[in-house]
Amino acid sequence: MLRTVLLIAGIATLVTSILITGSTFAAKGDGNGNGPHAASTTPSIALVETGPHFGGVVSLAMSYPAMRSTPLVRVLCFQGDQTVYQYSQWGGGSDPWVPSFTLWSDTWDSNGGGPADCVADLYYFTYQGQTQTGVVYLAHTEFTASG
């Protein structure tokens, strides 16, 4: 059941990311595999802070190989089967890239805060011409945000 919820939430987040930041994608990298990247060739993603919590900020450290596509990071948080937080960020052209997320939403707040199970994914879209053809997940981590 949680896997189905994650899949549905993930699709919703991807569609939102495309609509909100589609124009940003065109500006990333030089088209020759020279977008932002860490020195490592093994993709990874990890929390920088300890003790993530509702209303707090979490940062994610990551590494990934040089690639043609610009990666994104997505954080999703759930209370039971309800998605209470979802947000994605593009690489932004910095190296190293350490995106930050404020773990707060109206939905989460209306539930009184409380703990939530969260996932963070490092991924990128594949294209054929101007048509998106898929999503490649490079790295994944899970954490619990306390209330």
Average pLDDT estimate for 69-97: 87
Mean pLDDT of 40-55: 88
Measured in Å, how far apart are the chain's first and last C-alpha atoms? 23
Structure tokens at 41: 């060739």
* pLDDT higher than 90, residue 94: no
pTM of the model: 0.70
Give the pLDDT score at 49: 87
Distance CA 70, CA 33 (A): 9
